[in-house]
Amino acid sequence: MKEKVVLAYSGGLDTTTIIPWLKENFGYDVVCCCVDCGQGSELDGLDERAKLSGASKLYIEDVIDDFCDNYIMPCVQAGAVYENKYLLGTSMARPVIAKKLVEIARKEGAVAICHGATGKGNDQIRFELSIKALAPDLKVIAPWRMTDVWTLQSRQDEIDYCKAHGIDLPFSTDSSYSRDRNLWHLSHEGLELEDPSQEPNYEHILMMSVPPQKAPDETETVTMTFEAGVPTSVNGQKMKVSDIVRKLNELGGKHGIGIVDIVENRVVGMKSRGIYETPGGTILMEAHKQLEELTLDRATMEMKKDIGNKLAQVVYEGKWYTPLCEALIAFTKSTQQYVTGTVKFKLYKGNIIKAGTTSPYSLYSESLASFTTGDLYNHHDADGFITLFGLPLKVRAMKMMEAQKAKTDGKI
């Protein structure tokens, strides 16, 4: 009986080519697994394609709600953004995909998991660290790093290889952007984007959004509610998180929200340039941030900034299934108990404009904040506070003056 390998299958040319390659070079029984994180129409026709390519079985596993509830939301609540711009769309999806691959490998009694990530990118790290953490006994096969066996160098090579193995599918040799899509985002790399001096061809690139200059000339007001840091409704309609992301994608895409051009530092040491479309995610993170401004105290907000930055790095580096990641998420969750309320904002040509925020747990006191303060705040109390708060500065200045005088007098 042949040993089984579970292949992370997208249906594209690369992973389709890997099916006969695995059978020819290793004699494996190939079980394909496509993990649906919200790729949409990209999943159409996968079953037929996998079978034509020689796979013995194809699993299509819907993990969209798990992805949204247990991977996206912890990052939203933490305000986890990598290098100030990237909302971790691909980074958050890889651990949930790896978890499902391991689950199918256990179900099928497979001895290995194979992925089609290249040797230059971050995804190989994210997949393999997750697999090591969840199933250290399983082998991992990464064809693009096995240059002694994987000798295909171009799309035409792959098409020719498939045809030689009786697989004649309508793959194109045309060059195009390298894209990754899920419910949270759509990334674009390649072509003119490989030169940071070149302006992106947004007319050609964008698929979820319109450029801000082509967005409507009128603002659109949106109202969202949150309970304990989790979004619960959009414009009065209660929805689960995944449907909220879908709705916000529609609204954000219409108004050119969340288009990012970034040169980021990959884990493997190189810089790469890409365009990210994250319309709904950008809105969700901004709305959540607006509510936290009302409900979190200063010290907690300061610590959350550090936690959010650290979580972004941990997730970007593929370390989701680690004690550190678990601890960072646990801290974040503990801060969300009172992040409940209503956020209103306007969307206009790439901008999210505040239009009012309310919460039953708001720490904002109008009487304290106004110029005509009441009994809780006495202006004279600021005298002693400033004296003590500024004492280190005053002492240092005095000592520096003494030292300067001693130097002038020739004593030092």
Q: Which amino acid is at 42?
A: E
Q: Which amino acid is at 371?
A: F
The number of beta carbons lying within 10 Å of the beta carbon of residue 169 is 15
- 178 among known catalytic residues: yes
- Are residues 284 and 185 in contact, defined by beta-carbon separation less than 8 angstroms? no
- Are residues 187 and 276 in contact, defined by beta-carbon separation less than 8 angstroms? yes
Residue showing tokens 């790095």: 313
Out of 49, 53, 91, 94, the active site residue is 94
In 3D space, the residue among 326, 364, 15 whose CA is nearest the CA of residue 162 turns out to be 15
Out of 49, 123, 180, 181, the active site residue is 123
Q: SS3 of 75, please?
A: helix
Out of 66, 145, 155, 178, the active site residue is 178
- Are residues 53 and 16 in contact, defined by beta-carbon separation less than 8 angstroms? yes
Q: How many CA atoms lie within 13 A of 57 on its CB side?
A: 14
The whole-angstrom separation of Cα 73 and Cα 95 is 14
The whole-angstrom separation of Cα 44 and Cα 5 is 23
- 47 among known catalytic residues: no
| Cα→Cα distances 345→71, 153, 351, 357, Å | 25, 49, 10, 9
Strand order in the sheet with 341-348: 237-238, 230-234, 220-227, 341-348, 351-358
The whole-angstrom separation of Cα 304 and Cα 310 is 10
Which tokens sit at 120?
């230059």
Instruction: Give the number of residues written for the chain.
Output: 412
Euclidean distance between the first and final Cα of the chain, in Å? 88
Query: Largest Cα–Cα distance of the chain, in whole Å?
Result: 94
* Helices within 256-344 (DSSP H only): 279-295, 298-316, 323-334
Q: SS3 of 18, please?
A: helix
Q: Which amino acid is at 159?
A: I
String of DSSP letters for 76-104 = HHHT--BTTTB--HHHHHHHHHHHHHHHH
Which positions are catalytic?
14, 94, 123, 178
